[in-house]
Amino acid sequence: TPGVEIGRRHYPLTVPFQNGPTSGKDVFVPLDYIIGGQKMAGKGWKMLVELLSVGRAITLPSSAAGGGQAAAWSSGAYAQLRKQFGLPIAKFDGVGEALSRIAGHTYVMNAAISVTSGAIDQGEKPAVPSAILKYHCTELGRKVGNDAMDIHGGKAIMMGPRNYLSRGYMATPIAITVEGANILTRSLIIFGQGAIRCHPFVLRELHAAQNEDEQQGLADFDQALFSHVGYAISNLARSFFLALTHAKFSNVPLNTPTRRYYQNINRYSAAFALASDFAMLTLGGKLKIKELLSARLGDVLSSMYLASAVLKHFENQGRRAGDLPLVEWSVRTLMYHAQEQLHSFLRNFPNGFLAGVLRFFIFPAGL
């Protein structure tokens, strides 16, 4: 196109990019060239954001998972070949612990991508899961990279043609930064979107409040509000019962070695719903600026989603016995993280009395 200048490429952290700055002078763009035609003029940002909910669940998470798999294969092989004191370093407990984390984190990433991609293939636009995957897969990829570097030691820090880790390690912050910086994603987006989109009544209340037909809107709002109150009360009772019994009587569809994990997810789902309702009820719009509270609730939501994805992936793969240790490690780690983030949420809740009430119903036995 006359007047358009292209050709330069970005070069972030020594990684060649296929995109770069585009500039132009006296460039004529016909209205027919606008995607969607003249009626879509001025709506480009809206279209980009809508596509982001799909692309964000695929590109960066799959890159992180691919890096995790490469790190798992290379670190496992290197730990068997590299010897110290006459023994392969894989025999040392410290190295074995790092290898376990690499394998477990990589399994979580693969499971999350597989399950979420399946939903996208069926026509879904998973805005909240895409934010969860973008944040957690890139963060897990960073952890895997750190462990792989530690295992390889000096081999990983000397640049050269035989160093297969250094470039990927250097490029890690790129995935952390683009398509929504991770700090922003965790602090605002995951719970900020999830609290509304995943709640059975909040979205209905918002739509009713915005209804131009005041009479119909008031009727719809009243119905949604009373349903919301009933839902909160039922969550209160359900959370207390599941916590008191450690969810042993929670109804789950499978009688397999993973049965208890489904029950634990049920327990923390009820606890999360209860904490979210009370946070929105007492803090209202201030919850948006209470970013650490929002982030902790987002961590609980993310842990449950990732644990559910791990269990679903295990079923989709035919319950392979060799995968069971990875499944157990992954779900236990994720649910422990959910538990600790709920504790942190309650410790930092601004209303101490209400935090004590919530703690009684969520952790009646202290755990």
pLDDT tens digit at each of 367 positions of the chain: 788 998 888 888 888 888 889 999 888 888 888 888 888 888 888 887 777 777 888 889 999 999 999 999 999 999 999 999 999 999 999 999 999 999 999 999 999 999 999 998 888 888 889 999 999 999 999 999 999 999 999 999 999 999 999 999 999 999 999 888 999 999 988 988 777 777 777 777 777 877 777 788 888 878 887 787 888 888 899 999 999 999 998 888 878 889 999 999 999 999 999 998 888 888 877 877 888 999 999 999 999 999 999 999 999 999 999 999 999 999 999 999 999 999 999 999 999 999 999 999 999 987 6
Q: Looking at the chain, which runs of residues are DSSP E strands?
A: 4-5, 23-24, 83-84, 87-88
**What's the start-to-end Cα distance of the chain, in Å?**
65
Distances (CA, A) of 337 to 15, 347, 355, 364: 33, 15, 19, 19
Return d(Cα 366, Cα 344) in angstroms, integer.
13
99's CB contacts (< 8 A; 6+ apart) are: 75, 76, 79, 90, 147, 151
Set 5, 124, 139, 179: catalytic member: 179
Provide the 10 A C-beta neighbour count for residue 304.
Answer: 21
Return d(Cα 131, Cα 47) in angstroms, integer.
17
Record the tokens describing residue 364, joined without a space: 């009646």
Catalytic residue list contains 179 = yes
Check if the beta carbon of residue 3 is closer than 8 Å to that of residue 26: yes
DSSP state of 308: H
Delineate the domains of the chain, giving CATH numbers in brackets: 4-42 (no CATH), 52-180 (1.20.140.10), 197-362 (no CATH)
Cα angle 86, 87, 93; round to 5: 140
241: closest CA among 357, 360, 336? Answer: 360
Return d(Cα 269, Cα 305) in angstroms, integer.
10
Residue 284 gets the label, from left (phi > 0), alpha (psi -120 to 50) or beta, of left
